[in-house]
Amino acid sequence: MAEVILENINKHYGTKFHAVKDFNLHIADREFMVFVGPSGCGKSTTLRMIAGLEDITTGVLKIGNRVVNDVPPKDRDIAMVFQNYALYPHMNVYENMAFGLKLRKTPKDEIDRRVRDAAKILQIEHLLGRKPKELSGGQRQRVAMGRAIVREPSVFLMDEPLSNLDAKLRVEMRSQISQLHRRLGATIIYVTHDQVEAMTLGNRIVVMRDGVIMQVDTPMNLYDFPQNKFVAGFIGSPSMNFLTAQVRNGQFYVGDSHVAPMGRLAQSLKAYEGREVFLGIRPEHMGMVGLSDIPQGNNVVRGQVVVVESLGAQTDLIVDIAGQTVTAKLEGMAPVEPGDTIDLLIDQTRLHAFDTSTELAID
Ligand code: ATP
């Protein structure tokens, strides 16, 4: 069993800076857990504490049911893959992968078995004799993974392992890492600031801000049920739109337009009657309607097009609605130009609302 448990973990740098605050998390055996959040939020610090590369100021860390706060990194049954996967330039791929095991005095035939097994999984068997300078970026990244795999750890810790690769290769390696997780049956803790990587790789995702966990959930729950405005804005691309709206007669008013929530939100919004809230609408939940299709006011908001960004399969419109700017993501091409007045039909079933002072979801 290789569950990883963090209980009330805190990290202080010096006396002033509190980098990780009361971090509580239970990572299940074989789970793929992703830490995501903006730069400086404490993702790497947390991962480095799990690795044993950084002291834990207070709190308890358990790996596989053993408290490991004071266990040196090499005895934690973990392997780490970094962003800078510095390979030894004078060694070939085989030697790079074998090096750590040699240091541990692993028998030669055992080293050979593990290196060849890992090379097979990673499909780099044909590269074993090459030096790092004879490899592409993606191949080097695979060798770095190989170095971790040969150690056969229960837990892999990965810190932005794909961030040095170009966009196309990142997508390719992303699906490889996902397959690798299934094949290895290991626990993986993966740090990234890229929400697409987080959404596609994680069984669950920890969204962090300023050293604090904002939400831990499955990718789909983060998308459908963000618990606060920060998570709502962080997950999804383009980001969720937030409009300052007045609640009147159980509806959201933005200028003269109004939108009626449905289901649970309609119920919980009663407590906000007469007040201001942040109305959250994802760009993909706004569609364009012809002026004559639907009468104004029926979950339709009118605005002026500010920018049209055509991406071929999708068009992003930046629209001004009563002085507030939103992005609408439409399928295909949109026959509009900046300056046009358009009507956007809002999907009433996908509305979000947030308290303006606590920024917590109203649901
Ligand atoms: P990034 O995505 O940019 O790598 P991160 O979320 O991984 O960011 P961390 O590297 O964990 O962030 O850093 C968290 C905070 O702790 C940052 O504000 C950083 O400046 C600070 N920090 C990190 N290491 C130290 C250190 N050795 N001494 C003081 N402050 C540090």
Q: At what angle do helices 137-149 and 167-184 cross, to 10 degrees?
A: 20
| pLDDT-wise least confident of 70-79, 194-203, 295-304 | 295-304
How much is the average pLDDT of 7-27? 96
In the block, which residue shows the tokens 């002072």? 357
Supply the pLDDT for residue 221. 97
- pTM, to two decimals: 0.91
Cα-to-centroid distance, 129 and ligand 1 (Å): 38
Q: May I ask the CATH class of domain 4-233?
A: alpha beta
DSSP string, 57-113: SEEEEEETTEE-TTS-GGGSSEEEE-SS----TTS-HHHHHHHHHHHTT--HHHHHH
3-state secondary structure at position 137: helix
Parallel, antiparallel, or unpaired for β 204-209 and 314-321?
Answer: unpaired
Cβ atoms of residues 186 and 30 within 8 Å:
yes
pLDDT of residue 163: 84
Q: What is the enclosing helix (H) or strand (E) of 190?
A: strand 187-192
Which of 18, 21, 44 for mutating ligand 1's site (highest number of atoms within 8 Å of CB)?
44
Expressed in angstroms and rounded, the spacing between residue 56 Cα and the centre of ligand 1 is: 14
CA of 259 to the centre of ligand 1 (A): 42
- In whole angstroms, give the CA distance from residue 6 to residue 1: 16
Residues 335-351: pLDDT tens digits?
A: 899 999 999 999 999 99
Pairing state between β 17-27 and 300-310? unpaired
As to burial, measured by CB atoms within 10 angstroms (0-12 exposed, 13-18 middle, 19+ buried), residue 326 is buried
> What is residue 279's predicted lDDT score, i.e. its pLDDT?
97
> Which residue spans of the chain are classified as CATH 2.40.50.140?
238-355
Interface confidence, given as ipTM, is: 0.95
- CATH 3.40.50.300 in the chain, residue ranges: 4-233
pLDDT of residue 184: 85
Report H helices in the chain: 43-51, 93-103, 108-122, 137-149, 167-184, 195-201, 219-224, 229-234, 263-268
**Considering only CA atoms, which residue is closest to atom 23 of ligand 1?**
45
Residue 45 CA, ligand 1 centroid: distance in Å = 6
Looking at the DSSP bridge assignments, the partners of residue 344 are 288, 301
Q: What residues are in contact with ligand 1 under a 6 Å CB criterion?
A: 13, 17, 19, 37, 39-45, 193
pLDDT for residue 295: 55
- CA dihedral sign, ordered 235, 239, 240, 244: positive
Q: Could you tell me the CA-to-CA distances from 250 to 36, 266, 280, 340, 362 in Å, in that order?
A: 35, 7, 16, 30, 13
Please give the pLDDT value at position 294. Answer: 56
Closest atom of ligand 1 to 46 CA is 11
CA distance 252 to 246: 6
- Cα separation, 193 vs 38, whole angstroms: 6
Confidence of residue 267 (pLDDT cuts 50, 70, 90): very high
Of 20, 35, 43, the residue with max ligand 1 atoms within 8 A of its CB, to mutate for a pocket test, comes to: 43
pLDDT at 180 over 90: no
Taking residues 79-104, report their average pLDDT: 90
Q: Count the neighbouring beta carbons within 10 Å of the beta carbon of residue 332.
A: 11
Topology (CATH) of 238-355: OB fold (Dihydrolipoamide Acetyltransferase, E2P) (2.40.50)
Peptide bond into 238 cis (omega under 30): yes
The whole-number average pLDDT for the span 262-279 is: 94
